[in-house]
Amino acid sequence: MKSSSKIDMTQGSIMKLVLLFALPICAGNILQQLYNTVDTLVIGNFCGSLSLAAVGTSSQPVEMLLCIFMGLGSGVSILVSQCVGSGDNETLKKIIATAISFLYLCAVPLSILGLLIGPLILKIMQVPDDAYSQAVAYINIIFLGTLGNMGYNMNAGILRGVGDSRSSLLFLVISCIVNIVLDLVFVAAFRMDVTGAALATIIAMLSSWLFSIRYIQKKYPDLQFTLLPKKLDRAIVNQIIRIGLPLGLNNSVYSVGHIVMQSLINAQGSTFMAACAVATKLTGIANVAITSLSSAATTFSGQNLGAQNYTRLKQGGLRIPLTSGLITACAGITFTIFCRPILGIFTDDAAVLDLAVTYIRVVLPFTWMYAVFNGIICFVNGMGEIKYTTVVNILMLWAVRIPTGYFIAHFINGTYCMACIPISFAFGMTCMLAYFFTKKWQNICRLATSS
């Protein structure tokens, strides 16, 4: 399987390869943030703060129901990277075929489940009555597009596993263009409000998924990629579940925690909801390096573990997360300084803007700690070591962030409940740095010394 887009992480300069791998993903993340931001810009300027609040709070139910499959998709990506590192092309084909079948087995039931329980989750989240009906309309349409959403993410993960991070950028360009055009048509021109924004999103994801299938078929014919499912390999299924299910359950527990946190935000009213929706768009833009370098960390550790290159594993374990932390710190400080004029692009509501600025100043200067934390977690996950990361993730959210958020909301000031986020970042980063003192990592170090 040869391609000029494929990066072999098992030889050469570590950080050069990591950055070459991460840059297309980073550009893709910027594009993804762009078309998410377009939703917010168009809705904020053509619909109003209630619509903005509805869209902002609707992402959590979708995330909660899709996160288990996303974990399984991550398991596929990890297995692919390990096969690429070991050069086992026959097993790689079996993984691809099984992954395609898995996609359909999960997407259809999740769409139905989302339509049935999505509105209930919004009730549990205490979405205010004035924003509830629009939030329900938005998530119902988003759940109808589950197959395109999951299909695109799985295909992008497979390509990252083989060392190709450039292709997902192309898919996102297509998705971004489609989404922006349809946002302007459905929302700005036809005045379809949140319904139009949701339709634009699912059509964009579906277009990107279908294009990614055709691209893989043409660029990587050896993978024997198909649109429709063909067969399941039980042994591969077991491996995907062994690695991916704990990641998915971890994501699910984490997502439920996000819903609990969102309920804290919702309890402060529609203005605060809208402010958080706007502020998180800016934090997402500032933090684009985190996901890209974390994805590079997963592929790097998976390929080098498959190649039994323990020296490179040892060298990359801290270099990649610390680089991510440094880049994120620089971006966070810069965006914090200039946050008010940037946030003013999204809304002209003075009350929303003031609360959004407060959110940024409390959270964004400290997200470098999350970058280090997430980089180490993804590196460790790439080696198939998921128990430690699962425990840390659960503790960070349920033992630190949520209790701290409720304490601040009930005993200090609810509009500062977001302060629990940087506190949990500090806890998570400390725990993941402690991984380098565990027996499993010390064993990697011994193998590196003896090789």
Residues 6+ apart with CB under 8 A from 155: 171, 209, 212, 213, 216
The answer to whether 306 and 82 are in contact (CB under 8 A) is yes
pLDDT for res 3: 52
**pLDDT-wise least confident of 247-261, 350-364, 428-442:** 247-261
What contacts 24+ positions apart, CB below 8 Å, involve 318-322?
318/436, 319/14, 319/15, 319/18, 320/14, 320/15, 320/18, 320/293, 320/296, 320/375, 320/379, 321/293, 321/297, 321/371, 321/372, 321/373, 321/374, 321/375, 321/376, 321/379, 321/432, 322/372, 322/375
What number of CA atoms fall less than 13 Å from residue 37's CA on the CB side?
19
- Whether 85 is in a domain gets the answer yes
73 in a structural domain: yes
- For 1, other C-beta atoms within 10 Å of its C-beta total 16
Give the pLDDT confidence score for residue 179 in this predicted structure: 87
Q: What is the pLDDT of residues 155-187, one digit of tens each?
A: 988 998 888 888 878 888 888 889 889 988 998
pLDDT tens-digit series, residues 185-239: 998 889 898 899 899 989 999 999 999 999 999 999 989 999 998 888 888 988 8
Q: In the predicted model, is pLDDT for residue 356 greater than 80?
A: yes
Report yes or no: 202 and 191 within 8 Å, Cβ to Cβ: no
How far, in Å, CA of 73 to CA of 75, rounded?
Answer: 5
8 lies in some domain: no
d(CA 280, CA 163): 30
pLDDT of residue 33: 67
With respect to residue 5, please indicate whether it lies within any of the assigned structural domains. no
| pTM for the predicted model, two decimal places | 0.72
4 lies in a domain? Answer: no
Q: Domain range holding 341?
A: 14-450
**Phi, psi of 85, rounded to the nearest 5 degrees:** -65, -35
The CA distance from 22 to 165, in Å, is 7
Q: What pLDDT score was predicted for residue 403? A: 94
- How many domains is the chain partitioned into structurally? 1
Phi, psi of 88, rounded to the nearest 5 degrees: -90, 85
Domain annotation covers residue 3: no
Tell whether 383 is covered by a domain.
yes
Confirm if 35 and 198 have CB atoms less than 8 A apart.
Answer: no
In a domain, 322, yes or no: yes
| Residue whose pair of structure tokens reads 């430690």 in the numeric block | 388
Q: For the chain, what is the mean pLDDT? A: 87
